[in-house]
Amino acid sequence: MQVLFETGLTSEQYISRQGWREARLPVCPMHPGGGCGYARHGTYERKRPGVMYVARWYCRQAHTTISLLPQFMAARLPGTMAELEKVVAVAEQARSLEEAANQLRTDDVALASAMRWVRRRVRAAHRNLVVVLGLRPDLFGGVRG
């Protein structure tokens, strides 16, 4: 499970200040009343946009790890939210997925792989928007996903 860590830091500041060391999870998100025995469970590494770590906890009762993901990081994808937003914006402006893939992936990767890379990010962003629209219809009434 990933929980938002509102650091107020940029990715550069998070790395230089080692923001993962300051991360605190005051209560287990699955057992806010306590008693589950959740505890700090180390960190895991993210390599983009630079080497950094994400703090984790483990809930013994739920047999689940909880990651405190910094607000600038994309969930379940490498990179930042800004990078993800850029991919989606380029894909929406391009005439085709192939054009977007060629524009975004200038490294030595096959076109089919580049297209999957773009498609995966666009789908993730759209899925998340549908969730947000469903969770907050009071804020996003009339907006279509």
Q: Tens of pLDDT along 17-30?
A: 999 999 999 999 99
Q: pLDDT value at position 138? A: 83
83: helix, coil or strand? helix
Domain membership of residue 76 (yes or no) is: no
55: helix, coil or strand? strand
pTM of the model: 0.77
User: Do both 6 and 64 map to the same domain?
Assistant: yes
Q: pLDDT value at position 145? A: 54
Contact 80, 14 (CB under 8 A): no
User: Do both 19 and 56 map to the same domain?
Assistant: yes
- Cis peptide before 78, with omega less than 30 degrees from 0? no
Q: pLDDT value at position 71? A: 92
User: Do both 58 and 86 map to the same domain?
Assistant: no
Which parts of the chain register pLDDT below 50? none
Residue 106 domain boundaries? 81-140
Domain membership of residue 145 (yes or no) is: no
Q: What is the largest CA-CA distance in the chain?
A: 54
Of 70, 97, 127, which marks where a domain is finished?
70
Q: pLDDT value at position 143? A: 63
